[in-house]
Structures are given as structure tokens and as C-alpha cells.
Amino acid sequence: MSTQSPTHTNPRHAYLGGGCFWCTEAQFKLLPGVLSVVSGYAGGEKPNPTYEEVCSGRSGHAEIIRVDYDPEVLTYEQVLEKFWVTHDPTTLNRQGNDVGTQYRSVIFHTTGEEKKQAEESLSQARPHFQDPIVTEISPLPVFYPAEAYHQDYFTNNPGNSYCAFVVRPKVEKFKHYLI
């Protein structure tokens, strides 16, 4: 019997935007089958955007995460199921006090099959929301990883007031969906 960790020779990726990437990253890191989560930017015209450019709202990019997952443990459909409970997909360009197109709800797909699954997932999520879902489903143009200090932000900055008052409650709520 081997005691080595299994190797993940074929991890899959999901590209999701649900407001502040500090929140969504912290939530998805809890999901069994997730290998890693990378905060970044996508959906705009500016190559290699900086955080300041994205925050200005002028780059066209959204704050998103790349969820790297083991398809033998977790399916794309299951990743999308959890996406709907990580944020409010009915608010256009806004999550709580974070306002602007950089905080839009978005699923970026890389294949036709992912697009189809995202559309089906959105249809299945609709009955769970009183207001219409405004989540964008678009092909992934380019994913730009965010600056190093944004990675694992919640873990690395537990004393930050945004982490304490915004991220932590979302993480605690998300834990109920893992059961």
C-alpha cells in the first residue's frame, strides 16, 4: 500500500468571478477536490493589468479566481453549484459595498462543453433566487494572475478589517454548503 499522495496529472480549471477575489478564493479553497485557487483578472482589453488598473474600473477586467481541481474528486458542475452560493449573482456589477464592473458575476469558459454546462447551471440556479440572475457567461480571453500579495489573502491577513468583516462571514456561511 502506497503512502504517497496521489499525483494530479490532469487537473481541470474553472474561471469564476463573484465579486472580490479575496472572498471567492477563501471560499473555494475549502472545497474538497480543489487543488489550488489563484486570484487574478480577466475579461478586459488591457494586457497584464495591475490591481490599481482593475480597481479603477477602466481596464474592463473582472477580479476572478482560477479554481484548479481534481476531476476524479470534483466535477465542473459541482464547482458551478458552489459558485452560486458564494455571492449574489442578481446584483449587476456589485457585491456588497464593492461596486464596479470589476466585481461583476461571471463564468469564463474555455470549451463549448463548459459553456453548455455553465448555461445549464445558471438555469438550475434561477429558481433559488427571487431576482433575475445577471451572471455573464463568456469565453475566457486571457487569465492574468494577480500580484503575489493577493494570493491566499485571507489566510495571510487575518487581522485585516475587510477580512474580518467581509471575508470571514462569507467563509463561515460557505462552510454550511460543504456538508
Catalytic machinery residues:
20
Residue labelled with grid coordinates 499522495: 5
CA geometry: angle 85, 88, 90, nearest 5 deg? 125
Return the SS3 of 19. Answer: coil
* Torsion sign over Cα 26, 32, 38, 44: negative
Q: Is residue 78 packed enough to be buried (19+ CB in 10 Å), middle (13-18) or exposed (0-12)?
A: middle
Could you tell me how many helices (H) and strands (E) the chain has, helices first?
7, 8
C-alpha grid cell for residue 151?
494570493
C-alpha grid cell for residue 147?
500580484
Which amino acid would we find at residue 115? K
